[in-house]
Amino acid sequence: MPSVEDVMTKTLLTVEPATELVEAARQMQSRNVGAVLVLVDDRVAGILTERDILHAVAEGKVEGAAVGEWMTGDPETVSPTDSTRLAASLMIHGGFRHLPVVMESGRPVGIVSIRDLVRVTVDDETPRGA
């Protein structure tokens, strides 16, 4: 079974809690990612996902809103040496699709998505019809 560090994304998109929600969404769209880590003093304070942004949009509270108002604070995390099985279990039972990957010190080193984990289980990566 591969470890989280074998499949995680190491190029992180990060913002601060005071970052405007619209700016965070622009950065996510530009990088084509579904989540951004929210850092305070180089530690993960939260995670902002597409779902969080959708909730803000549904409530009509996007303009002028800060990331800190809509992020999920103190998210579940995994370490790089944890198994992909553990990461998948946390996601399934927690109902989320992204996990920050942090060192014991709390410093983020990656992010793992449900898509990353699905790739581990799929033998034939050729898309249908290709």
Count of CB atoms within 10 A of residue 80's CB? Answer: 16
**Of 87, 109, 84, 107, nearest in space to 98 by CA:** 87
Buried-exposed string 31-57: b where 16+ CB fall within 10 A, e elsewhere: eebbbbbbbeeeebbbbbbbbbbeebe
In this model, does residue 72 exceed pLDDT 90? yes
CATH domain 4-121 topology: CBS-domain (3.10.580)
pLDDT tens digits, residue range 83-110?
999 999 999 999 999 999 999 888 999 9
Task: List the domain boundaries for the chain.
Answer: 4-121
Q: Is 73 helix (H, G, I), strand (E, B) or coil?
A: strand
pLDDT above 90: percentage of residues in the chain: 84
Q: Is this structure's pTM higher than 0.75?
A: yes
pLDDT at 121: 76
Q: How confident is the model at residue 129 (pLDDT cuts 50, 70, 90)?
A: low
